[in-house]
């Protein structure tokens, strides 16, 4: 059974550009969450999608957005990139999002560098 797949693994962008990251959850998983990991701020929750609807959102500016497709694949977009957006972006999937399915399975992340 394939795990959570994030593409691309590495990305270099210039300030002011926009970027789209992709996450394919484990087959059968309907909940996808995104986290940003930086040395300074640690792991911070961005947002969660379930059945194509955003169910929860972290404290990030509107430049950060996401969506989920009918096949549960999710994308996150960051517009007008800033140097501080350089981070490891992790995606996690859960089977259904109910409390009985608490285990989140993580992908290997996308390392975004903004120059």
Partner 1 sequence: AQTVTQSQPEMSVQEAETVTLSCTYDTSENNYYLFWYKQPPSRQMILVIRQEAYKQQNATENRFSVNFQKAAKSFSLKISDSQLGDTAMYFCAFMKPLSTGTASKLTFGTGTRLQVTL
Site for partner 1 in 21-50 (CB under 8 A): 31, 33, 35, 42-43, 45, 48, 50
Cα–Cα distance between 54 and 84 in angstroms, integer?
A: 24
Task: Examine residue 74 and tell whether it contacts partner 1 (CB under 8 A).
Answer: no
Please tell me whether residue 84 adopts helix, strand or coil conformation: helix
Task: Examine residue 11 and tell whether it contacts partner 1 (CB under 8 A).
Answer: no
Kindly tell me which residue out of 10, 62, 83, 103 binds partner 1, with binding defined by CB under 8 A. 103
Q: State the nearest-atom distance from the C-beta of 63 to partner 1, in Å.
A: 20
Task: Examine residue 88 and tell whether it contacts partner 1 (CB under 8 A).
Answer: yes
Task: Examine residue 60 and tell whether it contacts partner 1 (CB under 8 A).
Answer: no
Cα–Cα distance between 57 and 47 in angstroms, integer?
A: 4
Cβ–Cβ under 8 Å, residues 87 and 60? no
Please tell me whether residue 83 adopts helix, strand or coil conformation: helix
Q: Which residues contact 16 (CB under 8 A, 6 or more apart)?
A: 80, 81
Comparing CB distances to partner 1, the nearer of 19 and 97 is 97
Task: Examine residue 113 and tell whether it contacts partner 1 (CB under 8 A).
Answer: no
């Amino acid at each position: 059974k394939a795990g959570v797949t994030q593409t691309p693994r590495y990305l270099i962008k210039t300030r002011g550009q926009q970027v789209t990251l992709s996450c394919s959850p484990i087959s059968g998983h309907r909940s996808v969450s995104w986290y940003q990991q930086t040395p300074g701020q640690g792991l911070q929750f961005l947002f969660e999608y379930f059945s194509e609807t955003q169910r929860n959102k972290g404290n990030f500016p509107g430049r950060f957005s996401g969506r989920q497709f009918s096949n549960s694949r999710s994308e996150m977009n960051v517009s007008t990139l800033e140097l501080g957006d350089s981070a490891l972006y992790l995606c996690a999937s859960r089977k259904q999002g109910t409390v009985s399915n608490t285990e989140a399975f993580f992908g290997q992340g996308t390392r975004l560098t903004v120059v």
